[in-house]
């Protein structure tokens, strides 16, 4: 256990206490019983917390209608898997839908507890899992969304991400070795030159970097491919930090073992007394990065090479919306914009159809909550461009629409201080009708300081807060600017606080004109003259 953590259960905080009483994963064996009991009769700790070990989230906003968070290694699924997810939410009619998340993942909504055994059987049949996707577990592992397609990629992250997930979850069966971490944990692997995964905001991230192999035996130095390792990145209501270098370089073959070692150190020494100070960075603060690295090396049973002097992230970040050539001759990938990541059963069936008809049946997701359909032959592109689904999921959306990201917000999340997804969509439409743009502007909405919508990585980040207007409490936002992604990524900072949402549009309009080169549309000028 930790240096500072308390050791008797009596002194543990509520979360540590219930984890010590019963491993969250044991809930897996109780699904049949829970399903027959129903959500109102079941144990409240099981309902509110332990079910998250199998990816099932009680929603106090919609009691009885649960959310399920999947695992999608590298954000990839098949059309068959998408159809299974669609069937699950279809059953719930208007209550059912799905969201693509900021971790290249899918969440399903409207789930009734009595359906869980059947749902898990369906998942099992097509190789899907939702295990260990919530609470003090490792979240979906992100990888390059165009891994294996991109002619300029440095490493195809797909297999590595899958290997890490298999190790952490015992191939989706659940792995009690990693089901009692001090807090959540995020892992990302960048494989391209543009850091498509936001490596810097993960607890553990790998970014491509070459190392010169020594001039042994009079040979010319050779470049060896590997990854520099970053640790400790996280957002929370209390504190947000970009990841810092562990000063380690590893080959791809060393990554699974390194993930395991880092997680063991975090599990056994991470701070557990105060949940606001439990993420990995707090342990690194307490120990210093040198001691942390030494502990990791000790777990690994070997010392690691120091980081390569420079990494290979030297491109601006791509958003993958539109049509792009793949490295495979004659094939293309198409990025579809999914407004704020929201999908309904019909959309999911349609996306599965599209992947089958035009591509190879594969579907991918991005951390911007969009979809990529790969492996589309040149000769099918023309027909694809006439597909009615593109009217809903555009390949050429407006400059604000294309980069819009939004967390769940008040519709389903009880932490939310504001409604986000609908408001974000309406606001962007209004601004696009007022202004013209020369480049996309990345606007991220997040309903509360937990920052699931990552406002700190955006050009303009909007974080839900309570504001005051005419002496009354109203929904408002704090505004962040300056988030930089891709090359030289760094976090944005808060520049304005407590703007009532109803007064936000002109504030954003001015910001877009002054800082992002937007211009009022001609019609707008005419009406204001
Ligand atoms: Fe998150 C909690 C949704 C990505 C930081 N997050 C929650 C909960 C589970 C709260 C709850 O029980 O209601 C939200 C579920 C709402 C719902 O019904 O959908 C929630 N988080 C999301 C998603 C769905 C936002 C989205 O619309 O895409 C994302 C799911 C990712 C996934 O597939 O696993 C999501 N959350 C993030 C990210 C972004 C990322 O990972 O890049 C962050 C910031 C990065 C980080 O974690 O360091 C994030 N979520 C949090 C936190 C603050 C963590 C902390 O250390 O304090 C919480 C609160 C908590 O864990 O106590 C939280
Ligand atoms: Fe909920 Fe807040 Fe996360 Fe949005 S940022 S999903 S409101 S916890």
pLDDT higher than threshold 90 for residue 266? yes
Mean pLDDT of the chain: 95
Distance 465 CA to ligand 2 centre (A): 11
What token pair was written down for 330?
Answer: 């004659």
pLDDT higher than threshold 60 for residue 259? yes
DSSP string covering 291-345? HHHHHHHHHHTS--BPPPSS-S--SPPP---EEEE-SSTTEEEEEEP-GGGEE-H
Q: Write out pLDDT tens, residues 409-441.
A: 999 999 999 999 999 999 999 999 999 999 999
Q: Could you tell me the pLDDT band of residue 451, with boundaries at 50, 70 and 90?
A: very high
pLDDT higher than threshold 90 for residue 403? yes
Residue with CA closest to ligand 1 atom 55: 236
The answer to whether the CB of 320 is under 6 A from ligand 1 is: no
Distance 490 CA to ligand 1 centre (A): 20
Q: Evaluate whether 200 touches 484 at the Cβ level (below 8 Å).
A: no
Percent of the chain with pLDDT over 70: 95
The preferred substitution site among 341, 407, 414 for testing ligand 2, maximizing ligand atoms within 8 Å of CB, is: 407
Enumerate residues 6+ apart whose C-beta is below 8 A from 339.
401, 404, 425
Q: Could you tell me the pLDDT band of residue 3, with boundaries at 50, 70 and 90?
A: very low
Give the integer Cα–Cα distance in Å for 245 and 228. Answer: 8
* pTM of the complete model: 0.96
* Res 461: pLDDT: 98
Taking residues 401-415, report their average pLDDT: 98
The answer to whether the CB of 202 is under 6 A from ligand 1 is: no
* Res 526: pLDDT: 57
Distance 334 CA to ligand 1 centre (A): 28
* Res 443: pLDDT: 98
Nearest atom in ligand 1 to 276's CA: 57
Count of helix runs (H) and strand runs (E) in the chain? 15, 23
Taking residues 360-385, report their average pLDDT: 98
Distance 475 CA to ligand 1 centre (A): 20
The preferred substitution site among 240, 446, 464, 466 for testing ligand 2, maximizing ligand atoms within 8 Å of CB, is: 446
Tokens 């955006």: give the residue: 458
Q: Which of 474, 523, 526, 481 is nearest to 501 (CA)?
A: 474
* Res 222: pLDDT: 87
The answer to whether the CB of 234 is under 6 A from ligand 1 is: yes
What token pair was written down for 32?
Answer: 């049949």
Distance 228 CA to ligand 1 centre (A): 26
Distance 513 CA to ligand 1 centre (A): 32
Q: Write out pLDDT tens, residues 198-232.
A: 999 999 999 999 998 764 445 667 899 999 999 99
Q: Write out pLDDT tens, residues 94-130.
A: 999 999 999 999 999 999 999 999 999 999 999 999 9
Ligand nearest to the CA of 235: 1
Residue with CA closest to ligand 1 atom 7: 452
* Res 219: pLDDT: 63
The answer to whether the CB of 71 is under 6 A from ligand 1 is: no
The answer to whether the CB of 130 is under 6 A from ligand 1 is: no
Taking residues 315-327, report their average pLDDT: 97
Enumerate residues 6+ apart whose C-beta is below 8 A from 498.
465, 467, 468, 476, 478
The answer to whether the CB of 456 is under 6 A from ligand 1 is: no
* Res 438: pLDDT: 94
Q: Could you tell me the pLDDT band of residue 2, with boundaries at 50, 70 and 90?
A: very low
Residue with CA closest to ligand 2 atom 2: 448
How does strand 331-336 pair with strand 371-377? Answer: antiparallel
The answer to whether the CB of 407 is under 6 A from ligand 1 is: yes
Estimate to the nearest angstrom the gap between the alpha carbon of 379 and the chain centroid. 34
* Res 5: pLDDT: 43
How far apart, in Å, are the Cα atoms of 484 and each of 160, 439, 454, 528?
A: 27, 15, 12, 34
Secondary element (H or E) of residue 73: none
The answer to whether the CB of 401 is under 6 A from ligand 1 is: no
How far apart, in Å, are the Cα atoms of 336 and each of 35, 291, 386, 431?
A: 37, 45, 14, 21
Per DSSP, what are the bridge partners of residue 332? 325, 376
The answer to whether the CB of 107 is under 6 A from ligand 1 is: yes
Question: CA 203, 206, 209, 212: dihedral to nearest 10 degrees?
Answer: 90
Residue with CA closest to ligand 1 atom 1: 452
Catalytic residue positions, numbered: 69, 183-184, 447, 452-453
Q: Sort 242 into a burial class: Cβ within 10 Å, 0-12 / 13-18 / 19+.
A: buried
Q: Could you tell me the pLDDT band of residue 527, with boundaries at 50, 70 and 90?
A: low
Distance 21 CA to ligand 1 centre (A): 25
Q: Evaluate whether 332 touches 326 at the Cβ level (below 8 Å).
A: yes
pLDDT higher than threshold 60 for residue 1? no
Tokens 């549009």: give the residue: 505
The preferred substitution site among 130, 231, 452 for testing ligand 1, maximizing ligand atoms within 8 Å of CB, is: 452
Q: Give the angle subtended at the CA of 359 by the CAs of 101 and 100, to the nearest 5°.
A: 5
């Amino acid at each position: 256990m930790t240096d500072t953590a308390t050791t008797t259960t009596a002194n543990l905080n509520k979360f540590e206490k219930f984890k010590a009483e019963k491993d969250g994963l044991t809930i897996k064996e109780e699904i049949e019983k829970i399903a027959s009991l129903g959500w109102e009769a079941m144990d409240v700790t099981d309902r509110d917390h332990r079910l998250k070990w199998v990816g099932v989230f009680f929603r106090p906003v919609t009691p009885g209608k649960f959310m399920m968070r999947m695992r999608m290694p590298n954000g990839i699924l098949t059309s068959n898997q998408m159809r299974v997810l669609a069937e699950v939410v279809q059953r719930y009619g208007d209550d059912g839908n799905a969201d693509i998340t900021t971790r290249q993942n899918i969440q399903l909504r409207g789930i009734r507890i009595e359906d869980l055994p059947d749902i898990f059987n369906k998942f099992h049949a097509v190789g899907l899992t939702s295990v260990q996707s919530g609470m003090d577990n490792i979240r979906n592992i992100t990888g390059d969304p165009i891994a294996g397609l991109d002619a300029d990629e440095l490493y195809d992250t797909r297999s590595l991400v899958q290997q890490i997930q298999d190790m952490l979850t015992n191939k989706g069966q659940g792995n009690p070795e990693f089901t009692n971490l001090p807090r959540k944990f995020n892992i990302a692997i960048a494989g391209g030159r543009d850091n498509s995964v936001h490596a810097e905001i993960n607890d553990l991230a790998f970014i491509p970097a070459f190392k010169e192999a020594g001039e042994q035996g009079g040979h010319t130095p050779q470049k060896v491919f590997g990854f520099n390792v970053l640790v400790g990145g996280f957002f929370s209501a209390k504190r947000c930090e970009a990841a810092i270098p562990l000063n380690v370089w590893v080959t791809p073959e060393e990554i699974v073992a390194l993930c395991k070692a880092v997680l063991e150190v975090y599990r056994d020494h991470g701070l557990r007394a105060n949940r606001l100070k439990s993420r990995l960075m707090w342990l690194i603060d307490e120990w210093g990065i040198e001691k942390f690295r030494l502990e990791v090396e000790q777990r690994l049973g070997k010392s690691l090479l120091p980081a390569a002097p420079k990494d290979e992230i030297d491109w601006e970040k791509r958003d993958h919306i539109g049509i792009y050539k793949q490295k495979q001759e004659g094939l293309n990938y198409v990025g579809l914009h999914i407004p704020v990541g929201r999908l309904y059963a019909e959309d999911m069936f349609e996306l599965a159809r599209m992947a089958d008809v035009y591509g190879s049946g594969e579907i991918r997701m991005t951390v911007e909550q969009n979809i990529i359909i790969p492996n589309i032959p040149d000769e099918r592109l023309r027909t694809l461009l006439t597909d009615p689904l593109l009217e809903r999921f555009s390949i050429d959306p407006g400059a604000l629409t294309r980069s819009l990201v939004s967390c769940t917000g008040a519709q389903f999340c009880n932490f939310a201080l504001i409604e986000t997804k609908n408001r974000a969509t309406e606001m962007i439409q209004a601004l696009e009708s007022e202004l013209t743009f020369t480049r996309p502007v990345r606007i991220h909405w997040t309903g509360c300081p937990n920052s699931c919508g990552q406002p700190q990585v955006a050009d303009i980040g909007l974080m839900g807060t309570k504001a005051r207007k005419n002496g009354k409490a109203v929904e408002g936002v704090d505004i962040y600017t300056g988030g930089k992604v891709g090359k030289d990524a760094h976090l944005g900072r808060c520049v304005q606080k407590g703007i009532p949402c109803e007064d936000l549009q002109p504030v954003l309009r001015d910001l877009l004109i002054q800082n992002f080169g937007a211009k009022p549309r001609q019609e707008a000028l005419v009406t204001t003259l």
